[in-house]
Amino acid sequence: MPIHKAEHHPLDAYLRTERLPHVWCPGCGLGIALGAYLRALQNVGFDPQETVMVSGIGCSGRAAGYVKMDSFHTTHGRAIPFAVGLKAARPELNVTVFSGDGDLFSIGGNHILHAARRNVNITVLAINNYVYGMTGGQLAPTTPESSITTTSPYGNIESPFNIAGLMAVAGASYVARWTTVHERRLQKSIEKALTKRGFSIVEIMSPCPTTFGRRNNMRGIVDSMMYYKKYSVIKEHPNPLDGVIKPGEKFIVGEFMDAPDEPTFEDKLEELKNKEFLKTSQADRTTWILEHRRHLETLAKIIGGEQ
Which stretches of the chain bind other proteins, using CB under 8 A?
1-12, 15, 20-22, 24-32, 35-36, 39, 180-181, 183-184, 187, 221-222, 225-226
Provide, rounded to whole angstroms, the least separation between the CB of residue 81 and other proteins: 29
- Smaller CB distance to other proteins: residue 1 or 89? 1
Q: Is 191 left (phi over 0), alpha (psi -120 to 50) or beta?
A: alpha
Q: Are 258 and 240 in contact (CB under 8 A)?
A: no
Provide, rounded to whole angstroms, the least separation between the CB of residue 30 and other proteins: 7
Q: Are 243 and 255 in contact (CB under 8 A)?
A: no
- Smaller CB distance to other proteins: residue 60 or 264? 60
Provide, rounded to whole angstroms, the least separation between the CB of residue 138 and other proteins: 23
- Smaller CB distance to other proteins: residue 226 or 241? 226
Provide, rounded to whole angstroms, the least separation between the CB of residue 59 and other proteins: 12
Which of 199, 229, 231, 221 is CA-nearest to residue 31? 221
Between strands 138-139 and 251-258, the pairing is unpaired
Q: Angle CA(32)–CA(38)–CA(39) in degrees, nearest 5?
A: 90
- Smaller CB distance to other proteins: residue 202 or 225? 225
Provide, rounded to whole angstroms, the least separation between the CB of residue 32 and other proteins: 5
Alpha-carbon distance of 244 to 260, in angstroms, equals 25
Q: Three-state SS across 205-256?
A: ECCCCCCCHHHCCCCCHHHHHHHHHHHEEECCCCCHHHCCCCCCCCEEEEEE
